[in-house]
Structure 1
Amino acid sequence: MSGVSLKCGDCGALLKSVEEAQEHAELTSHSNFAESTEAVLNLVCTSCGKPCRSKTESDLHAKRTGHTEFVDKTLEALKPINLEAPKSVNSTEDTAMDVDASSSGQCEEMVVPEVDKKILEELEEMGFPTARATRALHFSGNCSVEAAINWVAEHENDPNIDEMPLVPASTKVEHSEPKLSEEEKKIKLQELRERARKKKEEEEKKMEREREKERIRIGKELLEAKRIEEENERKRLIALRKAEKEEEKRALEKIRLKLEEDKAERRRKLGLPPEDPAAAKPSAPVVEEKKSMLPVKPVTKAEQMRECLRSLKKNHKDDEARVKRAFQTLLTYVGNVARSPDEEKFRKIRLTNQTFQDRVGGLKGGIEFLELCGFEKTEQGEFLFMPRDKADISVLNSAGNELQSAINNPHFGVL
């Protein structure tokens, strides 16, 4: 198959004609070209008709515009490449001119093309390298920031994208007139910046939504883990209480058997016959009934305190508010001493104090309760005083518990 393209040995670019190869050589200073049987692609976008000469170029176009449908017209445009440069009518003169031009072109100096410095500075402020920005301005017509950005988007995968463009020094650089006025440039630049800002805000909002979803997911997992932990703790407590009840039941049964064995042993030592279980059962209720008829007297300090508080409430049952206030005042006295037993001011109460009389001293049973806690009347009868050695923390704690029960239990002292 004859050659259908020219391939640059330096960068691998495929070119349709000798003219394109010459233009490529001027722009890149590449000089190694060879005839190739590989055709230059001609992918035409069905949406806008733009031709793309490579798969990379079509991918960039699709990424920038969203167009995804392309028609491959490579075979339609396929034709053998003509390696002969075009000749003019006067072949002798043209040949001489070509020789002169080629000889002069070989020695001609290549320089960086001139571009609009203001637009170049704006592109550099946006973060584009100087070489890429210069190249984009040169090949986009040196007219606007937007055109340069669009060129970079289409050629960002070019191998020489970050190489400084070069043109012959004798070439007269003609800046194309700006299509937009200075004011329009500012407006356009502001639009681009506003578009970039909005895009950034959308990305931040999207990230915030993702973070919120993650927070919700983690919160649900934590709640579920807490629920499972509470359920396991509840089951553990139930099992523990069940085990305690079983243990208590076994202990009671063991005590009962021990008592029966002791009783049987005593009967054997006394020479009595074994006790008949059927005859022994009826006697139990009689004994219990006799015991229940005996008066029960408080035997502990806590029971004495509880009975004192019951009497106080019964003696003043018509004034519940005053009784509750008395209980709270007594709790304050007891709590102060329990917290600071070394402080004498908490262990000394003036009996003639009007507040004390209104709250505690004027109620029957109030002073008696303080005396059960360890307070004693002085010789002159002016104070209630608790000596340091009488400040028993366990007794004060019991008093506090009884007062809390009397305050919180609405049925206390009713029965």
Structure 2
Amino acid sequence: MSATGLSLRCGDCGVLLKSVEEAQEHAELTSHSNFSESTEAVLNLVCTVCRKPCRSKTETDLHTKRTGHSDFSDLTSETAKPISLDPPISTDDDTQQHQEMMIVPVVDSNLIQELESMGFTTARATRALHYSGNTSLEAAINWIMEHENDSDIDQMPLVPASAKAEPPKPSLTEEEKRIKAQELRERARKKKEEEEKRMEREREKERIRVGKELLEAKRIEEDNERKRILALRKAEKDEERRAREKIRQKLEEDKAERRRKLGLQPVDPTVSKPATPVVPEKKSFLPVRPATKAERMRDCLRSLKHNHKDEDAKVKRAFQTLLTYVGNVAKNPDEEKFRKIRLSNPSFHDRVGSLKEGIEFLELCGFEKVEDSEFLFLPRNKIDIAVLNSAGSELNSAIVNPFFGVL
């Protein structure tokens, strides 16, 4: 029984099939069994470059992606035939006609043998030579590598009998093969060397860039440290100058009081006195690294000295006690006994604990109140040797400088 349809459509996946045989193969592969006749013909899009037929837009897109061929001829209307649901009866005439319509393309037999000696099947070698232009062994191998996942890679290619077969190009001699292989190796070596040189240039540029950034960061850090040092030195000199002025005023007052007691005339303040020669400051660029908390520590010690200016012995003893605590931790950071202070300890309370600024100074060094504020504790992972060194420097300066915190 003949059917008026041009194809069979699978009701499960929607694919169009040319014949009953294709429907049977599709059913075996997918287990689909719902087929119906369709008046829509199966697409026949033939690549104009390599003559590969494609049955869908997806196949043409995949072929273009793999080969770069983008020009296709639509031969659907020319090859569409009414489909028959009756099993085909094969005759010699039909077979002869089919053989005349599609034949295996002619390719270089020497290249076929070389590909077969490398382990490729005859069908795969023939397909690779045909679609790569039957030009060289290298082109065929490249084609196989690019299309090794094709579903029809091991099917013998067929071309229309009317297509003009290109004469096979002569195979290379052994000497030519050796020269060609040497050229390929030389080209690969040069390409590798160029890539290595390019990467080395990139690495050198990156090293130069990182080096410049490090130098700039170091310069900025040194400038900032120099500015902080100058600011600290200026503050020290201003403090010393104010302390000297206060002492001078005190001496003047004592001198005036003695003159008054002796009945002498007071000194006329309008009488000019020889100006004190100005001693130029010497700039210093010592590579001292100040701690980030140095100014706060100095202010804390100044407040302690200023708030207890009439108790010099007590203040000096507090400074020396703090210096001992800081020095013990700096020298023995792993010893917990040096990092834990009981606030209720009589000796500690008498020397430091009774002074608010003393507790604040220890907290600036990293000590924390723990266990309901019963202890001051410095955790091991929070010890900053630079901060402890700065604390020791500030305490030593406060002890040896007689003008420290006078104002």
TM bracket (short chain): 0.3 to 0.5
TM-score (norm 1): 0.40
Bigger Cα Rg: 1
TM-score (norm 2): 0.41
Say which structure, 1 or 2, has more relative contact order (CA 8 Å, 6+ apart). Answer: 2
